[in-house]
Amino acid sequence: MVTINEVAVEAGVSPSTVSRVFSRPEVVNSVTRQRVTEVADRLGYTPNRIARSLAIGKSGNLGLIVPDIANPFFAHLIKAVQVEARQAGLALFIAETDEHRLDEYPLVKAMAKQVDGLVLASPRMSDSQIRELVEIAPIVLINRKLRGVQSVLIPSADGMRQAVDHLAALGHDGCVYLAGPRNSWTNLQRRSAIRGACRRHAMSYTEMGPFEPRFESGVRAADPLIAAGATAVIAYDDVIALGVISRLSEREVRVGREMSVIGVDDSPLAAIACPPLTTVRVPAAKAGAVAVRLLLDLLAGRDANGGLPTELPTDLIVRSTTAPAPAAR
C-alpha cells in the first residue's frame, strides 16, 4: 500500500503538500499540484480513509438501522438512503434488529461511534435510550417522535381515516385492526387514527394483536377474525394483510366479498396479490431520502426545518379486497 510519504519523496515535496493536494487542492500551486497528482496516480496512490478519519475526527460513514431488511417497506427505504448517502460521498453501514427489541440499543450504540450520523428507522427502544444515543452521534428518526430530535414521520392518519371512510361507505358497521409491534410509534398512530374514524362513523372498533410484521402473523390472525364474525379488517401492513388473505382463501372465505381487507404500505406485493390489495400508500423511499438530507443538514450545522418533524402524507389506494358489507348488500 503506497502512502503519502512515498508520493512525497517521488514528487520531491513534503508529505504536507501531498496531503493538501488531496484535501485542499486550491491552496497549492497549480504546477506543484499537477506534478503531485501525476506521481500519485503513477504510483497508484489513494488516500487511506481510516487514517484520514482518525486525523480529522470524521468517518465519512452513515449508519442505518432497520427492523427488517427483507420487509419491502424497509427495502425501499434502505435503497433511497443508500442512494442519497452515496450522492453525498458517504458510505453506508446497515444493521438490522430483526424486530428484536433487546438487541437494538447496544447494536446502535456500537455503530454510533464509527459513523458521522445515524438514521433509525422505526426504532423500538425507549425514549431515554434514544436520548443517550443522541449524545454520541447525530441522529435522525424515521417514524418515531421525540422532542428535540430530528425526525421524519409518516403519521398515516390521513390514509387510515380514508380507509375507514371507505369501509363506512361500503356499509361496514365495524372493523378490526390487526395491530403491529407494541413499541412502534407507527402502530400507535394507525391504531388511534382508525379508532377515531370508527367512532365518528359509529362503527365498532376491535383490536387484535400485537403481530410482528410477517406473513405468518397474518396467517395466524385469520381464523380468529372469522371466529369473531368480522366483515372488515385493516392490517398493520401489507405483509400481514397478505397473510390474512392467504389463510382466508384456504378457509374459503372470499376476500373482497365476505371479507374486506386493507393493508398499509402499497408495497409491490399489494398490486400483484390475489385479489389486488386495497392499501394505504406510504412513501418509504421519500422518507429515507428526506432523513438523509436532514442528517446532512445536521452534520453541516444547518438547523434544518427548525427541528420540527417533517411529515409525509399517505393515501388510500382502492383495489379489489374491499367490498360492500355482506349485510348491506
Residues that bind a second copy (CB under 8 A): 46, 48-51, 53-54, 59, 61, 68-70, 72, 75-76, 78-79, 82-83, 86, 91-96, 98, 107, 111, 113-114, 215, 242, 245-246, 268-269, 271-276
Q: What does the DSSP 8-state code read for residue 202? A: T
3-class DSSP state for residue 313?
A: coil
Residue 93 binds which of DNA, a second copy, none (CB < 5-8 A, kind-dependent): a second copy
Residue 78 binds which of a second copy, DNA, none (CB < 5-8 A, kind-dependent): a second copy
Specify the stretch interacting with DNA by CB under 7 A; choose among 45-53, 145-153, 175-183, 188-196: 45-53
- Class of residue 31 by CB neighbours under 10 A (exposed 0-12, middle 13-18, buried 19+): exposed
Specify the stretch interacting with DNA by CB under 7 A; choose among 14-22, 62-70, 83-91, 177-185: 14-22
Q: Give yes or no for residue 291 binding DNA (CB under 7 A).
A: no
DSSP per-residue string spanning 210-223: ---SSHHHHHHHHH
- Class of residue 194 by CB neighbours under 10 A (exposed 0-12, middle 13-18, buried 19+): buried
Residue 145 binds which of a second copy, DNA, none (CB < 5-8 A, kind-dependent): none
Give the nearer residue to DNA in terms of CB position, either 54 or 328.
Answer: 54
Q: At a CB cut-off of 8 Å and minimum separation 6, what does 54 contact?
A: none
Residue from 278, 276, 237, 233 nearest 258 by CA: 233
CB of 110 to a second copy, least distance (A): 8
Residue 15 binds which of a second copy, DNA, none (CB < 5-8 A, kind-dependent): DNA
Residue 189 binds which of a second copy, DNA, none (CB < 5-8 A, kind-dependent): none
Give the nearer residue to a second copy in terms of CB position, either 112 or 194.
Answer: 112
CB of 40 to a second copy, least distance (A): 15
Residue 16 binds which of a second copy, DNA, none (CB < 5-8 A, kind-dependent): DNA
Q: Give yes or no for residue 300 binding DNA (CB under 7 A).
A: no
Give the nearer residue to a second copy in terms of CB position, either 86 or 200.
Answer: 86
Q: Give yes or no for residue 219 binding DNA (CB under 7 A).
A: no
Q: Which of residues 25-44 bind DNA (CB under 7 A)?
A: 27-33
Tell me which long-range contacts 83-92 makes (C-beta under 8 A, separation of at least 24): 83/289, 84/288, 84/289, 84/292, 84/293, 85/292, 88/292, 88/296, 89/60, 90/60, 90/61, 90/62, 90/116, 91/60, 91/61, 91/62, 92/61, 92/62, 92/63, 92/64
CB of 248 to DNA, least distance (A): 56
By CB under 7 A, name the one of 10, 39, 45, 241 that touches DNA: 45
- Class of residue 104 by CB neighbours under 10 A (exposed 0-12, middle 13-18, buried 19+): buried
In the numeric block, the cell 356499509 is attached to 171
CB of 250 to a second copy, least distance (A): 12
Residue 113 binds which of DNA, a second copy, none (CB < 5-8 A, kind-dependent): a second copy
Question: What is the SS3 assignment for 69-124?
Answer: CCCHHHHHHHHHHHHHHHHCCCEEEEEECCCCHHHHHHHHHHHHCCCCEEEEECCC
Q: Which residues bind DNA (CB under 7 A)?
A: 1, 3-5, 12-17, 19-20, 22-24, 27-33, 45, 47-48, 51-52, 54-57
